[in-house]
Structure 1
Amino acid sequence: MNRRSLVLSAVLLSALSVPLTITGASIALPDLRRDLGADLTTAQWVVNGYNVAFAASLTFAGSLADVLGRRRAFTAGVALFVLGSLLCAVSGDVALLNVARVLAGVGAAAGTAAGASLLAATFDGPARTRAFGLLGTLLGVGLALGPTVSGHLVSTSGWRAVFVPPVVLSALVLTLCLLLPRSTAPVGRRIDWPGGTFFTAGLVLVIVVLVEAPALGLADPLILTGLLAAIGFVVGFVRTERRAREPMFDLGLLANRRFVGYAVAAGALMGLLVPLLVYLPSYLIAVVGLDSDASGLWLLALTLPSVALPSVGAVIARHRPRLLVVGAVALSGVGVALLTSTGRDSGFWEFAPAFLALGTGVGLTTGVVDGLAVSAVGAEDAGTAAGIFNTARLTTETIALASVGALLAALSGGHLEGAGFTTALHAVCAALGLLAIGAAAVVAVILR
């Protein structure tokens, strides 16, 4: 196997495990809550903890890839992901499970950022576009197979089994890491620890406030203190990055309209998809009355477009990148809004149009928009740019996930079942649909 094929194989297999672990936890959530006796707020951290760790670590991971070397950062990330996922599979307590999910999220962040940097450094020109297109296809395969495979595993072997496939895939990647070509780190590059610390602390506090506010109340002193502290950390982060000689978050990239436009589009798409992937299985099981297997099969209409469409998106991106990303965000927003017409008595064909519209919008851009964003900056900053891009996407996704969870909990009275769950889900979908149309308009203006 030549150098390019080896790098591509390792990065693609690593990427496949990320959507599997997200969808797996989502399908397992109802059974997990019952088995471990966790309330709704605590159980939400099984998903939110992973996403917070992923998003907060991505900027660190991108800089580490540039400073320490891509191969070293990639290998360390995959190894930590394996450890965290193994602990998830054997956890007998929800607190330990949440800690394990955080470890897995940190590892996934390092593997994702370093993997994107490896692809950008190994391929150029049309070959780079094809490589990122394949990355999108594998991410689509993970999204498509995740709900079905996880639903079957939960039905036959229990919720712990959903963490096994990511462990197996990542263990295989670790063997390939031993053969990856060595990469040299640029001399003199440093990690911006103050900036990264401010960003991480601010994001964690924002998510804590969003998740805990429905239970404690907005006027609770802990919520108010957390909110004020989060604002302080965000202000400190901006001031630190403006003054740093080698900032972790290069604010100069905000002047790059192409990079910003693609980042906004990617954040909007994941902000729509991930909250629904997390809470739709619970809705289909608790309200519509499906079992885990059937729930996973229904969700194929949402996830299957992500298998074949990234290659179509890559072709469109070479000629009409603006049309691709703006149209994808708008179509996805329409799909989410269509969910407001479904209910307890709705069958598969009532859900299918919404699932297909959202899935098509996401599928056309999965992996492709990553390549467009990284290609908008110089190769020497590919690792940092990949980290910032993924951080923007994951931050939006994480905040959207926590916000949706908080709204569902507040509007349903903390009971994700029955008519209350339906009313809450419809309200959330209507709001997400409007936000998506607004995001599409913003991206259209930025990329014009």
Structure 2
Amino acid sequence: MPVTPAPPVPPPRIRKAAVGALGMLAAATGTLESVVAPTLPLLQRELSMSPAEGALLSIAMLITGALVAPVAGNLGDRHGGKRVMTRLMAVVAAGGLVSSLAPNLPMLLLGQVLQGAMVGAMPLSFILVRRHLPAGESQVAIGVVSGLFVGGGMLGTLIAGPVAEGLSRHWMFAIPTLAIVVATLSVHLLMPDDPPARPDARIDWPGLVLLSGVLLTLMLGLSMAPGLGSRPLALGALVLVLAAFTAGWTAVERRTASPMVDLRLLARPPIWSSYVITFAVCVGTAVSMYLVPQLLAVSGDGYGFGAGSTDIGRYLLPGAVTAAVSGPLGGVAVRRFGAGAVVTAAIGAMAATLGGLALLHTEVWHLVVGKALIALTSGVCVTAMVVRTATSVEHGDTGTATSLVLVTRVVGFAAGAQVSGAFLTAGTPSGSDVPAESAFVTGFVIAGAVTALSLFAVRTMSKGAEE
């Protein structure tokens, strides 16, 4: 008589405390990520940095994060999210320690490079909540973790200056690093182990090296974008190098038995359309993030407000708050209405707000309300894309697929910032350092158009999901 095999044992359910530990870790990493930007002038003074060195410091973590996120997601899919996260956070904690003790710029740069590994915590968190929670609850949990990461960034922006000036620059790195250590220990104690999906899979080193080359070349090109128009040879060389890395990576991933990124996964409409939407929305968001503070600060002929740094920070605070709540709101909305409806509504509202700012920016409250609405709709949209991507793939591909959403987000923000700078540079009359008002109008209009065009990808995403 044949023996009926026992049904597979479902993974243990996790308590709210475990999700809370992941949220605490996300908030702590967001705080540590954001302390450099508001204190960059102080760091330049204390460490005698040139403007170019300050710019390098500000993007060091960004570049590392773009490289580490897909690797962490891939390793988490294969070897278990909790196991990889614990080791990754050890690297981040080491980076925070180096940054807090750094006596000079080289040591601080090393610390920032190590800290950049924190971006990998997000896809690893998504692996864990999807593994241990049912679909509806995991969507909300993904939104909560994403929102707390943004909220941590808001907290870091607010406290970095007072901590650095009241205590020292060393403490603004040490305090969030201590919080990361505590949160990591909490995750280790409260989160059940997730068994490796493919423990015997080898690391795709050629694919890793070539993908790193693609991302590094892309980030380098974006950082040099404003000056590349006057250097066609440099632009051509970058394009050729990027094309070579991309072609080589594609060829390697097609042939290897255990690819870092399964190209068949990227070819699915719900997946590639999510990346397109994320990129377009983040470009539009970055344009507003760049132009609104500039418009508040400028005192032009008949426009602008001449606001100082303190006033600008106060004006942008409502936007930071709406960005923090957008993650949980996006997760709840996707659970109730579906990703397609949420993304369509968010993109429509965001594009309309950008268009409204192009027409109406004569009062401070116009910019405050507009920036808050853009932060809210953008956060809801990106959270919906993360949820849609996570739930469109098998459990064993969650980390890889969602990490590429985060990389796309980073590239979109970098591209939007560089495009905004190019708008203002081109719109500044010869002999003046004040851009024309038309440069801001053009920037808002183009940002709104790019955002609205992503609606075509929403149709593809929904159609592909139905199929």
Aligned to 1:233: 245
Pairs within 5 Å for 1:80-99: 80-91=91-102, 93-99=104-110
Pick one of 75, 84, 89 that aligns with 1:64. Answer: 75
Q: Deviations over 1:198-228 (max 9, x none)?
A: 1111221222233235457642755543332
Q: Deviations over 1:86-116 (max 9, x none)?
A: 43444454454444322211x2133222222
Q: Is the 8 A contact 2:298 2:306 kept in 1?
A: yes
* 2-structure distance, mates of 1:264, 1:84: 32
Aligned to 1:251: 263
Q: Is the 8 A contact 1:264 1:439 kept in 2?
A: yes
The letter of the residue matching 1:175 is L
* 1-structure distance, mates of 2:293, 2:156: 12
Q: Is the 8 A contact 1:89 1:160 kept in 2?
A: yes
Aligned to 1:297: 314
Distance verdict in 2 for CA 1:140–1:391, change over 3 Å: closer
The letter of the residue matching 2:182 is L
Pick one of 427, 438, 443 that aligns with 2:453. Answer: 438
Query: Does residue 321 of structure 1 match 2:332?
Result: no
Distance verdict in 2 for CA 1:58–1:3, change over 3 Å: same
Q: Is the 8 A contact 1:272 1:432 kept in 2?
A: yes
Aligned to 1:54: 65
Q: What is the root-mean-square deviation in Å for CA atoms of aligned residues?
A: 3.5
Task: Give the Å deviation of 1:324.
Answer: 0.8
Q: Is the 8 A contact 1:132 1:368 kept in 2?
A: no
Instruction: Report the 3-state secondary structure (helix = DSSP H, G, I; strand = E; otherwise coil) of the residue aligned with 1:248.
Output: coil
Aligned to 2:395: 379
* 2-structure distance, mates of 1:97, 1:408: 32
Q: Deviations over 1:384-442 (max 9, x none)?
A: 222333333333334444554566567669x9x95139776555444322211212333
Instruction: Report the 3-state secondary structure (helix = DSSP H, G, I; strand = E; otherwise coil) of the residue aligned with 1:377.
Output: coil
The letter of the residue matching 2:255 is R
* 1-structure distance, mates of 2:17, 2:320: 28
* 1-structure distance, mates of 2:396, 2:184: 26
Task: Give the Å deviation of 1:375.
Answer: 0.9
Query: Does residue 447 of structure 1 match 2:462?
Result: yes
* 1-structure distance, mates of 2:423, 2:104: 26
Instruction: Report the 3-state secondary structure (helix = DSSP H, G, I; strand = E; otherwise coil) of the residue aligned with 1:298.
Output: helix
Q: Note the residue ranges of structure 2 that are not aligned, 5 or more in a row.
A: 1-12, 300-304
Q: Deviations over 1:256-276 (max 9, x none)?
A: 322333333333333333565
The letter of the residue matching 1:360 is L
Pick one of 349, 358, 365 that aligns with 2:365. Answer: 349
Q: Is the 8 A contact 1:407 1:424 kept in 2?
A: yes
Q: Deviations over 1:246-298 (max 9, x none)?
A: 22122112343223333333333333335655776677567655454433322
Aligned to 2:202: 190
* 1-structure distance, mates of 2:166, 2:86: 33
Q: Deviations over 1:352-411 (max 9, x none)?
A: 232122022024345443222201111232222223333333333344445545665676
Q: Is the 8 A contact 2:22 2:187 kept in 1?
A: no
Task: Give the Å deviation of 1:337.
Answer: 4.6
Determine which structure has more spread, i.e. the larger CA radius of gyration: 2
Higher mean C-alpha deviation, range 214-223 or range 75-84: 214-223
Q: Is the 8 A contact 2:82 2:124 kept in 1?
A: yes
* 1-structure distance, mates of 2:166, 2:358: 32
* 1-structure distance, mates of 2:44, 2:292: 16
Pick one of 31, 36, 52 that aligns with 1:20. Answer: 31
Pairs within 5 Å for 1:332-347: 332-340=350-358
Distance verdict in 2 for CA 1:337–1:363, change over 3 Å: same
Give me the TM-score of the superposition, normalised by structure 1.
Answer: 0.84
Q: Deviations over 1:38-57 (max 9, x none)?
A: 45544333333222221222
Q: Deviations over 1:122-158 (max 9, x none)?
A: 2122221232232233234235444433455466567
* 1-structure distance, mates of 2:249, 2:258: 14
* 2-structure distance, mates of 1:209, 1:412: 23
Task: Give the Å deviation of 1:245.
Answer: 1.8
Distance verdict in 2 for CA 1:254–1:174, change over 3 Å: closer
Aligned to 2:375: 359
The letter of the residue matching 2:317 is L
Q: Is the 8 A contact 1:326 1:441 kept in 2?
A: no
Q: Is the 8 A contact 2:423 2:443 kept in 1?
A: yes
Higher mean C-alpha deviation, range 265-274 or range 431-440: 265-274
Q: Deviations over 1:287-334 (max 9, x none)?
A: 655454433322122121234444443343232421211221332334
Q: Note the residue ranges of structure 1 that are not aligned, 5 or more in a row.
A: none
Distance verdict in 2 for CA 1:364–1:375, change over 3 Å: same
Q: Deviations over 1:164-203 (max 9, x none)?
A: 4532321212322442433332243222221221111122
Instruction: Report the 3-state secondary structure (helix = DSSP H, G, I; strand = E; otherwise coil) of the residue aligned with 1:183.
Output: coil
Q: How many residues align?
A: 442
Aligned to 2:221: 209
The letter of the residue matching 1:219 is R
The letter of the residue matching 1:321 is A
Task: Give the Å deviation of 1:36.
Answer: 4.6
Task: Give the Å deviation of 1:85.
Answer: 3.1
